[in-house]
Amino acid sequence: MPELPEVETIKNELASHVLGRKICGVGLFWERIVRGISLDEFSRRIVGKKIADLKRRGKFLIFQLTDGEYFIIHLKVSGSLLVSRDSDEPPRFTRAVIYLDNGKIICFRDPRKFGRMWLTRDVSEATGKLGPEPLTKDFTSEVLAGILARRKAPIKAVLTDQNAIAGIGNMYADEALYAARVHPLRPASSLSPPEIKRLFEAIREILPAAIESKGASVVNYYRPGGEKGIAHFAFKVAHGLGGKTCSVCGGEIKRIVVRGRGSYFCATCQK
DNA sequence: ATAAGGCCCTGACCGC
DNA sequence: TGCGGTCAGGGCCTTA
C-alpha cells in the first residue's frame, strides 16, 4: 500500500529515468484509469511532451510536463510503477505504459484497478483538497493541534483523512498512534497537549525513517526497479506485522475496524 | 460542516 | 484438486 514514504521513494528512484525525457507513446489497457478526459484525448495531449520535473504531494505523484501540462498518478491500494526496456513484455496486471525516448518504459501495474491518472493544466484538479504535508517545516505540533481540535471523529480516521493531513495512510497511522500511545478510537479533539506532542513527534520520526528504508512492502509495493522496501521490518503493530503481543508491555495486539479499515494497536499501552 | 457507510475491483485465502 | 465465499483497502460519492 503506497503511502507517503512509498510514493516519495518511487519519486526519488524514478527521477533519474524520466527527468528530461520525452514521452513518445502511451499504451492504455484499462479504460477507467484516466480521470476527467477520454483515453484518446489523454494520448493526444501527453505524447511529445517532455518531463521537466517530478514531485510528490500527499500520495500523488506529479510529473510536470512541458507546455503547462501535468501528468498525475495515484497508486491507491495496489499500484506500482515499474521501469523496464521497451523491448520487454510489460508485467502482468499492467494497466498503462508510458514510452520514453531513452528506450525505457514505465509500467503502471495495478492488480486491483483502483489506481488513477490525470492529465491536466491545473494540479489542484487532483490534489486541491489535500491537507498540509506532514514533513514540511510549517507543519508543527500547533498546526496538528488545530486540525485535531475541530474533529470529533476517531483520531485514526482523521490521521488518514487526506483533507486533514496529506500522505498518512492505514499503516503509518497505526504506527504513529502506537508510538504516541493513543488509542485509535479516541475522538481527535479529546487528545491532550502531551498526546498531540507525542503524535507529532511520532509522525516526524516514523515517516522519514520509512523513506530511509525505501518504503514498506506489505502487499504489492515495489520500487521502480522491482525491489521491495524494508520499512515494514520496523513495524510494531501495523498490518499485524508486529507480533501477537506488544514489545513494550507484553499486552495483546488487537485488531479493530475503524472507518472500514483494519487497525492494530496495543490494548494496554494505547488508552 | 462533519461523520458514517457503500462502492469500486480482484488476488489471496479459507473451508469443504 | 476445485469450487464458492469472504476479505482488504484509498478515496469518492451519497446520505444523515
Mean pLDDT computed over every residue of chain A: 94
Which cell is A6 given? 512509498
A223: cell is 520500487
Give, for A220, the enclosing helix (H) or strand (E): none
Q: Does residue A158 approach strand B to less than 7 Å at its CB?
A: yes
Instruction: Give the CA dihedral A147, A185, A209, A195, nearest 10 degrees.
Output: 60
CB-based contact A50:A63 (threshold 8 Å): no
pLDDT at A220: 80
A73 strand-pairing partners:
A61, A117
Q: Residues 6 or more apart from A168 whose CB is under 8 A from it?
A: A3, A4, A134, A159, A160, A176, A203, A207
Segment A76-90, tens digit of pLDDT? 999 999 999 988 899
Closest residue (CA) to C1' of nucleotide B12 is A219
Q: pLDDT value at position A144?
A: 96
Average pLDDT over residues A6-14: 96
Return the active site residues of A.
2-3, 59, 261
Task: Examine the pLDDT at A193 and tell me if it is beyond 90.
Answer: yes
Between A58-72, A169-183, A231-245, A254-268, the lowest mean confidence (pLDDT) is in A231-245
d(CA A244, C1' B13) / Å: 20
Confidence class for position A154, pLDDT limits 50, 70, 90? very high
Task: Output residues with Cβ under 7 Å from nucleic strand C.
Answer: A 1, 3, 58-59, 74, 76-78, 112, 114, 126, 129, 160, 162, 169-171, 239, 257, 260-262
* Residue A128 confidence (pLDDT): 86
Express each pLDDT in A112-146 by its tens digit.
999 999 999 999 999 988 999 999 999 999 999 99
Phi-psi sector, A30: left (phi>0), alpha (psi -120 to 50), beta: beta
